C-alpha cells in the first residue's frame, strides 16, 4: 500500500532503485533505456560522477542561505555562465526551482516591467493553442492545451490563444512555408489589434513545442516575423525553453537557431539534469533597468530560489554540456535517431509524422496515414504505447490530445546527450515494436 497520491491512482509503478548512464533499474532488476530523459530532464544521464562531486563539495561549505539575506558564490557563478552562453541581449538571471515557477516569474516580470515604465494598462497575455507552459495557475492559463485547462477554467486568469505553427496538420497543401509563417504572424497581429495594441503585455511561445505536440518546430522565418510584430506594438516576447533548451536541440539555447533574441527566456529541466530541482529566467537589460531604476526590487520570490546545492549541480551540468564534444554528439546522435526512426517507421501505416531537432524528436501516431485521421481517443493509444515500451525496457513520453486536447496521439523522445550509436539503434527497435503492439491490441 502506498501513502503517496500518485499522478494516476490505482496503477502499479515499478520502483526505481538505481540509475547509471542512460539506464534506470527497478527493484526487480529490470533495466530501462531512458529514452525520454524522464520528461526531457536527464540530459547527462544518471549518476554522473562530476555532477555528484560538485554537489558534495557544495554541501561541505553552505547548503542553504535564504536569498533575502545572502547571495552565494555558486549562484553568482551559475548566473555568469548562463549569461555568457546566452545570445547577446539576455544579460541577467533570476534563479527558481523549476519550469512552472520560471514561467510564473517571467509573467510577473512582464507585468511589473510595464507598471514600472508607466504602462499599467498592459495586461493581456497571448500564447498558442496546444502549447504547454506549466501546471501552476498562471502557467496553466498561458498554456493552450484544452484537456489540461478544462476543469480549472473557472480559476484561470484570462489569456488569449492563437494558432500554433504546426505544419503537419495546419499548413495548406499548396501553401509554401513562407506563406504559412506569414499567415500565422498576421493572425497574431490581428489578435493584438483586437485586444488593443497598447494593452497587450506579452506573447509566449516554445521555440520547439514539447509535451503537447511532440517536438514541433517553426517553419521558415516564423519567429523573425513574430519578433517584428512584438517590437511594432511594444510587446515583450517570452520564449519558453523549459523542455527544448539547454542543448536539447543541438545548441545551448534552441532560440539560437531562429536568429532572434527574446526579452525573457525560461529554462529548467536540462539545466539541473535531474540532479536537483532548478530553473531560471533570463531577462534583458531594459527589464532589469526598469526594476533597478524604478521600485528597486522584483516583487516576487520563493523559499528555495538560488539554492546553493541546486546551483552547484546546474553549474556543473552547464559546464559539461558546453564542452564541444557534447553538442557534437547531440547533433550526430540526433541525426542517427531521426534516420533510424524514418528507416524503421516510415512504412508503418500508423506513423504520420516524424519530426524534431537534435535529441528532441516526436512521432505522431495516426489511424490512417493518407488522411491523417487520428485514432479514437477511447482507444488510448498513447497510454498503450507507454505500457508496451516499458514492457520492452524503454521509457518514452507519449501523450494524447495532440490535435486539440482530445484527438491525436504522439510520443516524445529526449534521451541523454551521452547516448551512443548502438543505444540509439536499440531504442528505435524497442519503440517500433511497442508501437506495433499498441495499435494492434
Helix (H), strand (E), coil (C) string for the chain:
CCCCCCCCCCCCCCCEEEEEECEEEECCCCEEEECCHHHHCCCCCECCHHHHHHHHHHHCCCCCCCCCCCCCHHHHHHHHHHHHHCCCCEEEEEEECCHHHHHHHHHHHHHHHHHHCCCCCCCEEEEECCCCCCCCHHHHHHCCCHHHHHHHHHHCCCCEEECCCCHHHHCCCCCCHHHHHHHHHHHHHHHHHHHCCCCEEEEEECCCECCCCCCECCCCCHHHHHHHHHHHCCCEEEEECCCCCCCCCCCCCHHHHHCCCCCEEEECHHHCCCCCCCEEEEEEHHHHHHHHCCCCCCCCCCCCCCCHHHHHHHHHHHHHHCCHHHHHHHHHHHHHHHHHHHHHHCCCCCEEEEEEECCEEEEEECCECCCCECCCHHHCHHHHHHHHHHHCCEECEEEECCCCCCCCEEEEECCCCCCCHHHHHHHHHHHHHHHHHHHHC
Average of pLDDT values for 294-320? Answer: 98
Same domain, 289 and 419: no
Cα 96 off chain centre by: 16
Among 50, 55, 77, 87, smallest CA distance to 245 is for 87
Same domain, 75 and 32: no
Handedness of CA 272, 276, 279, 285 (dihedral sign): negative
Higher pLDDT: 157 or 11? It is 157
- DSSP, res 183: H
Residue range 404-420, pLDDT digits in tens: 999 999 999 999 999 99
Residue range 186-209, pLDDT digits in tens: 999 999 999 999 999 999 999 999
What percentage of the chain carries pLDDT values higher than 70? 100
Does a structural domain hold residue 385?
yes
Same domain, 21 and 64: no
Q: What is the DSSP string of 329-358?
A: HHHHHHHHHHHHHHHHHTT-TTEEEEEEET
Same domain, 284 and 382: no
Does a structural domain hold residue 419?
yes
Q: Are 267 and 74 in contact (CB under 8 A)?
A: no
All three cell numbers of 202 = 506579452
Same domain, 119 and 178: yes
Same domain, 177 and 311: yes
Distance CA 220, CA 298 (A): 37
Q: What per-residue confidence (pLDDT) applies to 275? A: 98
Does a structural domain hold residue 3?
no
pLDDT for residue 10 is more than 90: no
Does a structural domain hold residue 4?
no
Q: Which of 321, 350, 376 is the last residue of a domain?
A: 321
State the chain's mean pLDDT as an integer.
97
Does a structural domain hold residue 159?
yes
Residue range 107-125, pLDDT digits in tens: 999 999 999 999 999 999 9
Same domain, 56 and 40: no
Same domain, 299 and 213: yes
Looking up residue 120, the CATH number of its domain turns out to be 3.40.640.10
Q: Which of 259, 291, 321 is the last residue of a domain?
A: 321
Q: Look-up: residue for cell 504559412?
A: 180
Same domain, 118 and 227: yes
pLDDT class for 359, splitting at 50, 70, 90?
very high
Same domain, 220 and 350: no
Same domain, 142 and 41: no
All three cell numbers of 245 = 533548451
Does a structural domain hold residue 364?
yes
Looking up residue 371, the CATH number of its domain turns out to be 3.90.1150.10
Give, in order, the Cα–Cα distances in Å from 263 to each of 142, 240, 394. Answer: 17, 11, 38
Q: What's this model's pTM, rounded to 2 decimal places?
A: 0.97
Does a structural domain hold residue 5?
no
Does a structural domain hold residue 6?
no
Q: Which of 321, 336, 356 is the last residue of a domain?
A: 321
Q: How many domains does the chain have?
A: 2
Same domain, 97 and 193: yes
pLDDT for residue 11 is more than 90: no
Range of the domain at 79: 52-321
Amino acid at each position: 500500500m502506498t501513502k503517496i497520491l500518485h499522478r494516476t491512482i490505482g496503477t502499479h509503478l515499478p520502483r526505481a532503485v538505481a540509475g547509471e548512464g542512460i539506464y534506470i533499474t527497478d527493484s526487480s532488476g529490470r533495466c530501462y533505456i531512458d529514452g525520454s530523459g524522464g520528461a526531457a530532464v536527464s540530459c547527462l544521464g544518471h549518476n554522473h560522477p562530476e555532477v555528484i562531486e560538485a554537489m558534495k563539495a557544495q554541501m561541505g561549505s553552505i547548503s542553504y542561505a535564504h536569498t533575502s539575506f545572502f547571495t552565494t558564490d555558486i549562484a553568482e557563478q551559475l548566473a555568469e555562465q548562463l549569461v555568457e552562453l546566452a545570445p547577446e541581449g539576455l544579460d541577467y538571471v533570476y534563479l527558481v526551482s523549476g519550469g512552472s515557477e520560471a514561467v510564473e516569474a517571467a509573467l510577473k516580470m512582464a507585468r511589473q516591467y510595464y507598471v514600472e515604465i508607466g504602462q499599467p494598462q498592459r495586461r493581456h497575455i497571448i500564447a498558442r493553442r496546444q502549447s504547454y507552459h506549466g501546471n501552476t495557475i498562471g502557467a496553466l492559463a498561458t498554456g493552450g492545451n484544452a484537456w489540461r485547462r478544462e476543469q480549472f477554467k473557472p480559476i484561470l486568469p484570462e489569456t488569449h490563444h492563437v494558432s500554433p505553427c504546426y505544419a503537419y496538420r495546419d499548413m495548406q497543401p499548396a501553401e509554401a512555408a513562407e506563406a504559412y509563417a506569414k499567415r500565422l504572424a498576421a493572425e497574431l497581429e490581428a489578435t493584438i489589434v483586437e485586444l488593443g495594441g497598447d494593452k497587450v503585455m506579452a506573447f509566449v511561445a516554445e521555440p520547439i513545442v514539447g509535451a503537447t505536440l511532440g517536438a514541433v518546430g517553426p517553419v521558415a522565418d516564423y519567429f523573425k516575423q513574430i519578433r517584428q510584430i512584438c517590437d511594432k506594438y511594444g510587446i515583450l516576447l517570452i520564449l519558453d525553453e523549459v523542455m527544448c533548451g539547454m542543448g536539447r536541440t543541438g545548441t545551448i539555447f534552441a532560440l539560437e537557431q531562429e536568429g532572434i533574441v527574446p526579452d525573457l527566456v525560461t529554462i529548467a529541466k536540462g539545466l539541473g539534469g535531474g540532479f536537483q530541482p532548478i530553473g531560471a529566467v533570463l531577462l534583458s537589460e531594459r527589464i532589469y533597468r526598469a526594476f533597478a531604476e524604478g521600485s528597486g526590487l522584483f516583487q516576487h520570490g520563493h523559499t528555495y530560489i538560488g539554492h546553493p546545492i541546486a546551483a552547484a549541480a546546474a553549474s556543473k551540468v552547464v559546464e559539461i554540456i558546453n564542452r564541444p564534444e557534447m553538442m557534437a554528439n547531440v547533433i550526430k546522435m540526433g541525426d542517427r535517431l531521426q534516420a533510424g526512426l524514418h528507416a524503421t517507421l516510415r512504412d508503418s501505416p500508423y506513423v504520420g509524422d516524424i519530426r524534431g531537432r537534435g535529441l528532441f524528436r516526436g512521432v505522431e501516431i495516426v489511424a490512417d496515414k493518407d488522411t491523417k485521421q487520428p485514432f479514437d481517443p477511447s482507444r488510448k493509444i498513447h497510454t498503450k504505447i507507454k505500457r508496451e515500451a516499458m514492457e520492452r525496457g524503454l521509457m518514452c513520453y507519449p501523450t494524447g490530445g495532440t490535435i486539440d486536447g482530445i484527438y491525436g496521439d504522439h510520443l516524445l523522445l529526449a534521451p541523454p546527450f551521452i547516448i551512443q550509436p548502438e543505444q540509439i539503434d536499440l531504442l528505435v527497435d524497442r519503440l517500433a515494436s511497442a508501437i506495433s503492439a499498441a495499435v494492434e491490441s
